[in-house]
């Protein structure tokens, strides 16, 4: 076997170097034979040192780049899918859009119930809250009571000691009238605040008649249309966020120490069809949705299906994960980069780790998203 080593930027070919040393006339100084003997003796050692150095550099490079961890199985699933419903029962007055595939923007009004009655109640509450009549009446009554009391005191002061115009009882009664007018003014001010709060309550009630889009999303199902009656919690629209999908990976447990949150994952759309359960002698891969979605319970967000550790689907009703369609030829080979967000604490039935990955999606020129739930993909993880 001929070995060529690149050492210090130059190719070092051991047999050629030996032939050069042994060529006549190359070494023509004294002790020529000793030099040739030493060079022939130490050339293999130099070669071994060079090879060792190269192997060390390659090893360090591999460590710096991380380990490329193979993935046994990768499945794509919807990450955010929300069923939108009204908070209160009523009659649908407005639903938009009413066709699947339409895009909604965050904050758009997409559902509204008929609210004629509550709108009239709000106008009444606002009118009462704006009124200043009661406060002005109380202010006038207080001013009159204070003037009456002052007049009585002045007339008594002008009268002689033997004769008083107003008795102590009358003076006391006038003082009480002043206090009563002051209390009435305070009550009028408090009533105005209460009326303003009542108007705020009506505004909040009107907010229950309207549903806004929680995120930029695509309408994937229309359940109800304008004119239909709905109960509290009845789904009206289902919207799906396709900008980020979840990839569920199954990885050998031996790679556990090399996988952590934040690892980079590369996914490639594949034309390989994943066999359904029962199509071959091998055990079917667990469906991707087998444990609770970590997003479950978030405000305004309901996952589309239960997740990891739920009972397996019956053989008569296989999951779409078991038999995903082959990717279109135009999409085959498209690459996507995701990030590990979670490594489950339990192993699969085959002793594999389940890894969650968030994968940003892309659109083609027609605005269609390339990644969809069930599209077959192949993946590998960049270990740390």
Task: Give whole-number Cα distances, 82 to 94, 161, 222, 238, in Å.
Answer: 19, 88, 12, 6
Structure tokens at 364: 């083609």
Residue-wise pLDDT for 225-235, tens only, equals: 999 999 999 99
Instruction: Note whether 378 and 255 are same-domain residues.
Output: yes
Give the C-alpha separation, 338 to 268, whole Å: 11
The strand ranges marked E within the chain are 4-7, 10-13, 68-70, 73-85, 90-95, 103-104, 109-113, 210-212, 217-222, 229-230, 235-252, 264-269, 335-343, 352-360, 377-382
Q: Is 267 part of any domain?
A: yes
Q: Quick check: 282 pLDDT over 90?
A: no
| Domain ranges, residue 185 | 115-208
Average pLDDT over residues 213-217: 92
Tokens 């042994």 belong to 22
Q: Does pTM surpass 0.95?
A: no
Instruction: Note whether 158 and 275 are same-domain residues.
Output: no
Number of domains in the chain: 3
Res. 112 pLDDT band, cuts 50 70 90? very high
Structure tokens at 226: 């304008």
Average pLDDT over residues 86-93: 94
Q: What is the DSSP letter of 363?
A: B
Maximal C-alpha separation, the chain? 158
Q: What CATH number has the domain bearing residue 370? A: 2.40.30.170
Structure tokens at 117: 């009655």
Give the C-alpha separation, 148 to 159, whole Å: 17
Residue-wise pLDDT for 38-80, tens only, equals: 556 655 655 565 545 544 444 444 444 568 999 999 999 999 9
Structure tokens at 138: 């109380």
Average pLDDT over residues 81-97: 94
Instruction: Note whether 348 and 363 are same-domain residues.
Output: yes
Evaluate whether 13 touches 4 at the Cβ level (below 8 Å). yes
Q: Is 87 part of any domain?
A: no
Q: Quick check: 328 pLDDT over 60?
A: no
Instruction: Note whether 270 and 191 are same-domain residues.
Output: no
Instruction: Note whether 191 and 307 are same-domain residues.
Output: no
SS3 state at 27: coil
Structure tokens at 51: 């090879």
Instruction: Note whether 270 and 375 are same-domain residues.
Output: yes
pLDDT reported for residue 164:
74
The counts of H helices and E strands in the chain are 5, 15
């Amino acid at each position: 076997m001929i070995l060529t080593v690149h050492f210090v930027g130059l190719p070092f070919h051991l047999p050629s170097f030996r032939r050069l040393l042994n060529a006549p006339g190359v070494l023509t100084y004294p002790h020529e034979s000793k030099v040739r003997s030493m060079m022939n003796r130490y050339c293999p050692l130099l070669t071994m040192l060079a090879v060792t150095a190269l192997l060390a550099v390659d090893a360090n490079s591999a460590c710096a780049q991380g380990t490329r961890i193979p993935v046994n199985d990768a499945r794509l699933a919807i990450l955010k899918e929300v069923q939108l419903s009204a908070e209160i029962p009523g009659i649908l007055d407005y639903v938009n859009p009413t066709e699947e595939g339409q895009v909604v923007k965050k904050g758009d009004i997409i559902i509204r119930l008929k609210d004629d009655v509550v709108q009239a109640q709000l106008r009444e509450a606002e009118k009462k809250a704006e009124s200043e009549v009661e406060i002005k009446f109380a202010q006038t009554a207080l001013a009159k009571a204070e003037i009456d009391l002052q007049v009585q005191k002045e007339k008594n002061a002008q009268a002689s000691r033997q004769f008083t115009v107003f008795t102590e009882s009358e003076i006391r009664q006038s003082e009480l009238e002043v206090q009563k007018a002051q209390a009435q003014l305070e009550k009028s001010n408090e009533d105005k605040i209460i009326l303003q709060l009542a108007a705020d309550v009506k505004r909040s009630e009107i907010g229950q008649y309207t549903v806004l889009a929680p995120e930029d999303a695509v309408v994937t199902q229309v359940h109800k249309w304008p004119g239909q009656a709905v109960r509290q919690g009845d789904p009206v629209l289902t919207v799906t966020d396709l900008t980020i999908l979840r990839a569920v990976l199954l990885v050998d447990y031996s790679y556990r120490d090399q996988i952590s949150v934040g690892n980079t994952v590369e996914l490639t759309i594949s034309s390989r069809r994943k066999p359904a359960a029962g199509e071959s002698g091998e055990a079917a891969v667990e469906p991707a949705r087998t444990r609770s979605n970590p997003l479950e319970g978030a405000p305004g967000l309901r996952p589309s299906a239960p997740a990891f550790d739920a009972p397996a689907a019956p053989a008569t009703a296989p999951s779409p994960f078991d038999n995903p369609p082959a990717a279109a030829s135009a999409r085959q080979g498209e690459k996507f980069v995701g990030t590990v967000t979670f490594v489950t604490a339990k192993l699969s039935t085959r002793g594999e780790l389940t890894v969650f990955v968030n994968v940003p999606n892309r659109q083609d020129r027609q605005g269609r998203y390339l990644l969809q739930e069930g599209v077959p993909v192949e993946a590998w993880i960049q270990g740390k």
